[in-house]
Structure 1
Amino acid sequence: MSGTLNIVYKDELVTAKRTEMPDGRVRQVAALVYRLKKDVPEVLLITSRGTGRWVLPKGWPQVGKTFACSAEAEAYEEAGVRGDISPFSVGTYRYEKDDMCDGEIGDFIVDVFPLEFIRQEKKWPERGERRLEWVSLEESASRVEEPELKALLMSFDPYRIPR
């Protein structure tokens, strides 16, 4: 459910890249990268490589890492971001992707882990492949397409992140 804390997976190590949930959706992870500017939160959005729509850094869980550490790795690979990741998900959102191999439709559920921005590297794997912008919570919610992600962004409070 969107906006619900997920403490079940706090220290759980990923054992398979593709994890199917009981409802058939495939699990992914995302980093909600944020910073505080004069005590006001800003969120880092990036564009997807395929469609150019605004998204959070996200991808597959990485075998041998926790789900949170997998989200942290996505933030680095896609946006060059380094920071402090929370071991707790602040919620989930669902999306469908229709550009999978062999015409398959991907049905995903994404666990979102807040990552407090510390710095951005000068070089990272996907540099130059995406646009990146820091925006307000309200602006981030208006730019993303997924209704549950919009709601999650609007309810995000960096002062209430469990550690």
Structure 2
Amino acid sequence: MKSAKPGVRPDAGKSETLLQQLAQTPDALFGKGFGQQYGALCFRYKEDRSEIEILVVTSRGSRRWVIPKGWPMKGKKPYEAAAVEAWEEAGVRGRVKKDPVGRYTYLKELSEGNVTPCIVELFQIEVTEISPNFKERGQRVLDWFSPSEAARRVREIELKSLLISFKPDLRKRQG
């Protein structure tokens, strides 16, 4: 009998969750380790500067709310890769903190129905520039929310916790 690709059952239906599929093929979850990604926790102050808003964008495929993130980039430090993702996915630039402000895990859906677990290191970006013209314009929806509303909209439990508890660190900013 010919075996299916790791991480996908040939009869896996749309009604099954990713976790249900992975429970039946644990080698897909634990066999290759975790992928590394870098994410941008983009924020801005409201007009009176008493509160912040956090940027969330929709993913291109499932249209669920996420934060800008992506794979490592050759020749770029992790915080630089996060800043590139924020620019390409949402058209925002700003002051980037070089040290991660947190990390979370999630299951990345790849092509052909495969999934891989990923660890996302988050880098804080205080947004100072917003452009209407960016690489993925028209492919994503973006919006600004209070930390609690941003947390309500994303799916990943660890990311929810990071967004709710996020307090900007304004020391050692990178411009």
TM-score category of the 2 structures, normalised to the smaller one:
0.7 to 0.9
Structure 2 residue aligned with 1:152: 162
Distance 1:54 1:161 in 2: 26
1:102 to partner: Cα distance = 4.5
CA displacement at 1:73 relative to structure 2: 0.1
Partner residue in 1 for 2:98: 87
Higher Cα Rg, which structure: 2
Tell whether 2:93 aligns with 1:59. Answer: no
Instruction: Specify whether residues 147 and 162 from structure 1 end up closer, same or farther in structure 2 by C-alpha distance, changes over 3 A only.
Output: farther
Unaligned runs of 5+ in 1: 1-22
- Letter in structure 1 aligned against 2:40: A
State the shift of 1:24 in Å. 1.1
What's the Cα RMSD here?
A: 1.3
**Is the 1:141–1:149 Cα contact (8 Å) retained in structure 2?**
yes
- The amino acid of 1:53's aligned partner reads R
Segments of 5+ residues of structure 2 without an aligned counterpart are 1-31
Q: Specify whether residues 28 and 130 from structure 1 end up closer, same or farther in structure 2 by C-alpha distance, changes over 3 A only.
A: same
Residue 130 of structure 1 deviates from its aligned partner by: 0.6
Instruction: Give a deviation string over 1:116-150, Cα, whole Å, max 9, x none.
Output: 00111231100111111110000001000000000
Within 5 A, what are the aligned runs for 1:27-106? 27-37=36-46, 38=48, 39-98=50-109, 100-106=110-116
- CA-to-aligned-CA distance 1:100-123 (integer Å, 9 cap, x gap): 234432110000000000111231
1:119-158 correspondence runs (5 A): 119-158=129-168
* Equivalence for 1:18: none
* TM superposition outliers: structure 1 runs of 4+ over 6 Å: none
What letter corresponds to residue 107 of structure 1 in structure 2?
P
What's the CA shift string for 1:40-80, capped at 9, x where partnerless? 01001100000110000011111111100000000000001
Question: Structure 1, residues 10-52: CA drift from partner, whole Å, max 9, x if none?
Answer: xxxxxxxxxxxxx811100100000011220100110000011
How far apart, CA to CA, are the structure 1 residues paired with 2:68 and 2:149? 17
Q: TM-score, normalised by structure 1?
A: 0.81
Measured in 1, the distance between the counterparts of 2:121 and 2:170 equals 15
Counterparts of 1:103 and 1:55 in 2: how far apart (Å)?
Answer: 19
Alignment partner of 1:26 is 2:29: no
SS of structure 1 residue aligned to 2:100: coil
Greater RCO, 1 or 2 (C-alpha within 8 Å, sep 6+): 1
